[in-house]
Amino acid sequence: MQKFEKLSSQLLNERDKLRQKIHKLKNRKNVDLNQKTCKTCGKEFLESENFNWSCKTHRYQFSGQMWWCCGKTKKDAPGCKFAKHFCRDEEEEDKDNEFGEK
């Protein structure tokens, strides 16, 4: 058990160091730190520009010929479901990691 606790603390320390490096790299490249990535569609967004129609996804899967939800025939067709972008905050991710959730 002690072995696993030690390994867990090492991994948490490594994660914190990697987060610090990421923040430094973002600052170096002049990237807006308030920019988040949507968990649903994968696009980057600013919370100030997050509206009810910002995130466009499909409700169902692509069948190979068309989207089951809206009947569009192109795989890269814009989504038919509109919503706000969704992003978990780092605090929520930290809480999840403490309890062993993904």
pLDDT at residue 30, rounded to an integer? 59
Evaluate if residue 28 carries a pLDDT over 70. Answer: no
Residue 71 in tokens: 């009947």
Structural domain including 81 reads 36-102
Based on the fold, state whether residues 25 and 50 are members of the same structural domain.
Answer: no
Based on the fold, state whether residues 61 and 91 are members of the same structural domain.
Answer: yes
Is there a contact between 40 and 34 (Cβ–Cβ < 8 Å)?
no
Residue 93 in tokens: 């991710």
Based on the fold, state whether residues 51 and 101 are members of the same structural domain.
Answer: yes
Residues near 34 by beta carbon (within 8 Å), at least 6 away in sequence: 46, 47, 48
User: What pLDDT digit, counting tens, does each position of 55-101 carry?
Assistant: 999 888 888 889 889 988 888 888 899 999 988 664 455 555 555 55
Evaluate if residue 22 carries a pLDDT over 90. Answer: no
Global pTM reads: 0.51
Based on the fold, state whether residues 59 and 27 are members of the same structural domain.
Answer: no
Is there a contact between 50 and 93 (Cβ–Cβ < 8 Å)?
no
Based on the fold, state whether residues 71 and 101 are members of the same structural domain.
Answer: yes
pLDDT at residue 29, rounded to an integer? 61
- How many domains is the chain built from? 2
pLDDT at residue 12, rounded to an integer? 92
What is the residue-averaged pLDDT of the chain?
Answer: 81
Instruction: Give per-residue burial for 44-69: e unless 16+ CB within 10 Å, then b.
Output: ebeeeebeeebbeebeeebeeeebee
pLDDT at residue 92, rounded to an integer? 55
pLDDT over 90 percentage in the chain? 16
Based on the fold, state whether residues 50 and 78 are members of the same structural domain.
Answer: yes
Based on the fold, state whether residues 1 and 40 are members of the same structural domain.
Answer: no
Based on the fold, state whether residues 26 and 56 are members of the same structural domain.
Answer: no
Based on the fold, state whether residues 15 and 51 are members of the same structural domain.
Answer: no
Based on the fold, state whether residues 101 and 51 are members of the same structural domain.
Answer: yes
